[in-house]
Chains A and B, each alone.
Chain A
Amino acid sequence: MKKYLLTLLLILNYNIAQASSSKVEDETKATYALHPKQLKWEFDGIFGRFDKASIQRGYQIYKEVCSSCHGLKLMAYRNLGDIGFKESEIKQIASEYLVSDGPNDEGEMFERSGLPSDKFVGPYANEQMARSANGGAYPPDLSLIIKARHDGANYVYSLLTGYQDAPDGFELANGKNYNPYFEGRQISMPSPIVDDLQIEYKDGTYATKEQLAIDIVNFLQFVAEPETEHRKKMGVRTMIFLAILLVLLIITKRIIWKKVK
């Protein structure tokens, strides 16, 4: 048993030593993704809540920047009501888009302006069109992006703020951009956040690059898990109820078991 453990330790040691030495060697050529920067989010933790003002700003960024390439097909315009948009505002937003519908009584497909019940209209009709417009790359739908990546919120934030010049010696393919938080470090998407004040926020918030990234993450978290706040509130109440019930049951159990000699 001891021998077995010792051998294991030896193998472990050897390999860690090997791995770390090889890491140092070609740092400039490394293609593994960096661990995302760790931020504290309003929606994190047991008492996590949505920052609705930030989510609304995030929606503005999505509309003005992201939506030119990325879809959000699981969201309906009516869902904007959950983050504080009024019904009239939602109708207005939806009506800005053209939705294909039909067939009508004549059997023809037609286009009409969007309704609150419509899903977000995406930038491309299909994957082929998206690829041809983006040099072969396919901008993913962002509806679930926070859930579809490890440590999703921090990952998206790190990716958006992580663009930098490729280190000397790093071979960057044509049309790619260097981002150490992306697996392979070569990403087709150019940095979508280029400057402070790139967006003029409707609520007057000063839009630094970091602020932009935080707001878009808050928005995408809402899109990925619209139930977050409801779920956590329900969770706290349920846990308190169960904890009290557990104490009462333990007391009851002790009383009943006293009879067992």
Chain B
Amino acid sequence: MSENSNNQHKKHPTPEEEIEAFHKIQNDIDQSITEKSKILAWVNTRLPIISGLENTLRKHPYPKNLSYWWNFGSLAGICLVIQILSGLFLAMHYVPNTKLAFESVEHIMRDVNYGWLIRYIHAVGASMFFIALYAHIIRGLYYGSYKAPREVLWWIGIIIFLLTMATAFMGYVLPWGQMSFWGATVITNLFSAIPVVGESIVQWLWGGYSVDNPTLNRFFILHFLLPFLIVGVVLLHLGALHNTGSNNPSGVAMKSKKDSIPFHPYFTIKDMVGFVAFFLIFGYFLFFYPNALGHPDNYIPANPLVTPAHIVPEWYFLPFYAILRAIPDKLGGVLMMFGAITLLFFLPYLDRSKIRSGAYRPMFQKFFYLFIFNFIFLGWLGKSPAEGWYVIASRFATLYYYGYFLIILPLLPKFEKTLPLPESIDEHYKQSHSKN
């Protein structure tokens, strides 16, 4: 390890010191809104919601060097809102019954005023939600946003990811097409791999002896319920974020007011730019290729007697699906698949580097980019048939996925030479700003 990086390590504050320093920083505001309006002042003395918002938007410090990679959190948030609203209107017309579900969806598409628009917003919106989530997670992985003092923030994020995956899976079952039915059959059957009680658990999940009406009914109820649970967990995520403050591209802790700017107007406008850019991509799929991200088989009504040639999940599950199929043993595959996400919980302790941001870790970057490539490759393998060399490649890719977390991240700090960190966020901002 170079002397240079050793010196920097000494300068790293403990998580407690970092948070203490952070809590002392506050941006100035000229005049509180409550001073301008008597009505707002009246409300605020009884329910301090006005000063609460003012604190968040104007006094609370945000690192001024945040890049556009920091837009994806609010983007995922807006996606959740879009899904809940569009889903609410769909639920007013949808019928969760195996005999009626498929046609009720087509009724929405054909007879409900702008029903096609609402349903395509919801269907494409699910994919857009996952694009935002994956980008948000990738940003966290690269800039070390999971490291102390943000471990709990990171864990809550993984819980949101898991809940969203469960919600999306159940939502895909509701149109009761071929992929809905067979996807549900394959995924629920995974639980039968659990020794001794597996079969009983699967029957309990189904509410019967196969995926049928009780299954569809409970999936609809849960698909409606879970998003509100996600909203709750998102509030916890924001609560934790508020306490630790945002990480930033330099990974350096906030030390003084100089490092910070208030949320409004700086990040309100920046988030708006992100929203509209994101909506352009959303709109492109929504209006011109609304079915490009889905599977044509789901426009064939579910038929328990006809198995599709290839059962594939939605694109956002494909990397994990590839891991599942890479393992020759059913239980092993299930464990490896769920393990791939469980592993993320341990990430704050697996990555032993004191340097947060990947920007100052050239060796880490190489492994990181390979990890991203490998993950996309896994997704491609998940879409391909589980035969021949695809399976062998899936095993190599699974090995790298696990190796990255279990071997590379823990051992890398012993070998890597890191780049000098900037003194402060302010310095980093000026450095990156003068380049342009």
Contacts and interface: CB of A to CB of B under 8 A. Distances in A.
Nearest to B294: A147
A12 B287 CA distance: 37
B389 A256 contact: no
Interface in A223-261: 224, 226-227, 231-232, 234-236, 238-239, 242-243, 245-246, 249-250, 252-253, 256-257, 260
A253 B276 CA distance: 13
A227 B276 contact: no
Interface string A127-169: 0000000000000000110011110100000000000000000
Contacts of A74: 103, 106, 110
Contact of A234 (B265, B287, B392): B287
B317 interface: no
A46 interface: yes
Contacts of B393: 8, 11-12
Nearest to B106: A74
Contacts of A249: 269, 272-273, 276
Interface in B165-220: none
A147 B389 contact: no
A196 interface: no
Interface stretch (B85-93, B295-303, B336-344): B295-303
A231 B116 contact: yes
Interface string B281-324: 00110111011000011011000000001000000000000000
B297 A148 contact: yes
Contacts of A227: 109, 116
A206 to B, nearest CB: 33
A211 B360 CA distance: 63
Interface in A186-232: 224, 226-227, 231-232
Contacts of B265: 256
A12 B266 CA distance: 49
Interface string A92-125: 0000000000000000000000000000000000
A143 B110 CA distance: 12
Contacts of B388: 15
A238 B276 CA distance: 11
A183 interface: yes
A46 B283 contact: no
A255 to B, nearest CB: 9
A239 B284 contact: yes
Contact of A260 (B106, B109, B261): B261
Contacts of B280: 239, 242-243, 246
A238 B285 CA distance: 12
Contact of A12 (B64, B272, B389): B389
A236 B64 CA distance: 36
A147 B291 contact: yes
A12 B388 CA distance: 10
Contacts of B272: 249, 253
Interface of A: 1, 4, 7-8, 11-12, 14-15, 45-46, 74, 79, 143-144, 147-150, 152, 183, 224, 226-227, 231-232, 234-236, 238-239, 242-243, 245-246, 249-250, 252-253, 256-257, 260
Given A238-B287, A246-B280, 14 more contacts: A8-B393, A74-B106, A144-B106, A148-B296, A149-B296, A150-B296, A152-B296, A231-B120, A231-B290, A239-B284, A242-B280, A242-B283, A249-B276, A257-B269
27 contacts: A8-B393, A8-B396, A11-B393, A15-B389, A45-B288, A74-B103, A74-B106, A74-B110, A143-B106, A144-B300, A148-B296, A148-B299, A224-B299, A227-B116, A231-B290, A232-B287, A234-B287, A235-B283, A235-B287, A242-B280, A242-B283, A249-B273, A249-B276, A252-B269, A253-B269, A257-B266, A260-B429
